[in-house]
């Protein structure tokens, strides 16, 4: 009986795992197949070619989109780490007027659904003249409430002796933060970094609204419009190739840092 349930468990897990992995393998395979072989279950074909990929490069500036997405994700992630840790440090370790009100404000604004601010944010970006520019994609994403809360909580747990000793040596709060606290904060830096980077890399609604020029688009936006806008001329291989190029960097990073990804993103759900 025991062995039977155990075997059943393994069979169920294996079938389930296959349903999660197979579609991605199928997508990778379809991006390399000729059109008439795409509607099959086989993952290997004798007629594999890179025609889908060259069609993508011919029809849309996908290289530029990769660059844009990389630039936007890296800049906003770096900025979130710097600014959110700064605010988190001030809220956790410094005494100043209005500190508790600011912390409450952070908690409160986290509850506002992003869609509520979508239209006025778009109008703000138009008024600032930021449409079709990196500013529209980066500046609103430069600080994060979730980051502030995670950093504050972690910094509260570090020993006060560290701060006192550094102060006696004449360290400013900025040096305490970046030269003493940061090296001790690798787990939270990784967590906030991964959540921010993945969120930024995958974001599609905001770029769709503020970017119209093809050479300013991000990857998810361009891949989506390539598919929806009919530019792909219903060539499934080309659509799958474009989707592969969007997913590939994340899949590679995930394969190497799986544990960090899972722990970080699971936390993102709990923290909002």
Partner 1 sequence: MLGRLAEQYRTSDKAGYVMVLPYILHFLLFTAYPLVFAFVLVFNRWDIVTPMEFIGIRNIQRLLRDATFWTAVINTLRFLASHIPLQIVLSLLIAVILNGPIKLRSFFRGAFFLPFVISGAVVTILWQQLYSTDAGILNLILNRIGMQPVPWLTDPAWAIYSIAIMATWKNMGFYIVLFLAGLQNVPHELYEAASIDGANRSQQFWKITLPLLQPVMLLVVILSTIGGFSLFIEPFVMTGGGPAESTLSVVLYLYKQAFQFLRMGYAATIGFALAIMIFVVTFIQRKLLDTDQPA
In the region spanning residues 201 to 260, those forming contacts with partner 1, defined by CB under 8 A, are 201-202, 204-205, 209, 219-221, 223-224, 227-228, 236, 239-240, 243, 246-247, 250-251, 254, 258-259
Residue 21 beta carbon to partner 1: minimum distance, rounded to whole angstroms: 5
Pick from 7, 25, 34, 40 the residue near partner 1 by CB under 8 A.
40
Pick from 148, 150, 217, 238 the residue near partner 1 by CB under 8 A.
148
Residue 128 beta carbon to partner 1: minimum distance, rounded to whole angstroms: 9
Cα 253 to Cα 110: distance, rounded to the nearest angstrom:
28
Burial class of residue 190 (count of CB atoms within 10 Å of its CB; 0-12, 13-18, 19+): middle
Residue 216's contacts (CB-CB under 8 Å, 6 or more residues apart) are 68, 132, 133, 134
Residue 34 beta carbon to partner 1: minimum distance, rounded to whole angstroms: 14
Burial class of residue 221 (count of CB atoms within 10 Å of its CB; 0-12, 13-18, 19+): buried
- Evaluate whether 94 touches 172 at the Cβ level (below 8 Å): no
83 part of the interface to partner 1, by CB under 8 A: yes
Cα 263 to Cα 120: distance, rounded to the nearest angstrom:
34
Residue 159 beta carbon to partner 1: minimum distance, rounded to whole angstroms: 18
158 part of the interface to partner 1, by CB under 8 A: no
Residue 219 beta carbon to partner 1: minimum distance, rounded to whole angstroms: 8
Query: Phi-psi category of 45—alpha, beta or left, where left has phi over 0 and alpha has psi -120 to 50?
Result: beta
Alpha carbon distances (Å) from 191 to 83, 125, 196, 200:
15, 29, 9, 14
The tokens for 44 are 């290997």
Binding region for partner 1 (CB under 8 A) out of 8-16, 47-55, 56-64, 152-160:
8-16
Pick from 107, 124, 165, 252 the residue near partner 1 by CB under 8 A.
124
Pick from 90, 149, 188, 211 the residue near partner 1 by CB under 8 A.
90
Touching partner 1, residues 103-122 (CB under 8 A): 105-106, 109, 112-113, 115-122
21 part of the interface to partner 1, by CB under 8 A: yes
Cα 80 to Cα 145: distance, rounded to the nearest angstrom:
9
Query: Which of 14, 67, 10, 35 minimizes the C-alpha distance to 245?
Result: 67
Number of residues that bind partner 1 (CB under 8 A): 84
Binding region for partner 1 (CB under 8 A) out of 51-59, 130-138, 184-192, 194-202:
194-202
165 part of the interface to partner 1, by CB under 8 A: no
- DSSP conformation class of 216: G
Pick from 7, 23, 129, 215 the residue near partner 1 by CB under 8 A.
23
Cα 141 to Cα 79: distance, rounded to the nearest angstrom:
8
Pick from 47, 172, 179, 215 the residue near partner 1 by CB under 8 A.
172
By beta-carbon proximity to partner 1, the closer residue of 50 and 251 is: 251
Helical spans, DSSP H, in 62-185: 62-93, 99-109, 114-127, 134-138, 145-156, 160-168, 173-175, 182-184
96 part of the interface to partner 1, by CB under 8 A: yes
């Amino acid at each position: 009986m025991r062995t039977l349930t155990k075997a059943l468990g393994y069979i169920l897990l294996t079938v389930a795992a296959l349903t999660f992995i197979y579609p991605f393998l199928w997508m990778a395979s379809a991006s390399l197949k000729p059109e008439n072989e795409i509607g099959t279950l086989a993952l290997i074909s004798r007629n594999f070619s890179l025609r889908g990929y060259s069609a993508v490069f011919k029809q849309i500036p996908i290289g530029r989109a990769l660059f844009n997405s990389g630039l936007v994700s890296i800049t906003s992630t770096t900025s979130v780490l710097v600014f959110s840790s700064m605010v988190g440090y001030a809220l956790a370790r410094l005494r100043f007027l209005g500190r508790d009100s600011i912390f409450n404000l952070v908690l409160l604004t986290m509850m506002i659904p992003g869609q509520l601010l979508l239209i006025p944010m778009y109008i703000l970006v138009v008024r600032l003249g930021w449409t079709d520019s990196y500013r529209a994609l980066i500046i609103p994403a430069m600080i994060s409430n979730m980051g502030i809360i995670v950093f504050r909580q972690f910094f509260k747990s570090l020993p006060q002796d560290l701060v006192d000793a550094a102060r006696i040596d004449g360290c400013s709060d900025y040096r305490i933060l970046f030269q003493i606290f940061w090296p001790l904060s690798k787990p939270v830096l990784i967590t906030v970094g991964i959540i921010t980077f993945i969120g930024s890399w995958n974001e599609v609604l905001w770029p769709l609204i503020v970017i119209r020029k093809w050479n300013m688009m991000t990857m998810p936006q361009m891949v989506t419009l390539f598919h929806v806008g009919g530019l792909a001329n219903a060539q499934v291989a080309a659509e799958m190739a474009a989707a592969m190029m969007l997913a590939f960097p994340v899949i590679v990073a995930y394969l190497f840092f799986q544990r960090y990804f899972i722990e970080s993103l699971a936390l993102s759900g709990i923290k909002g």
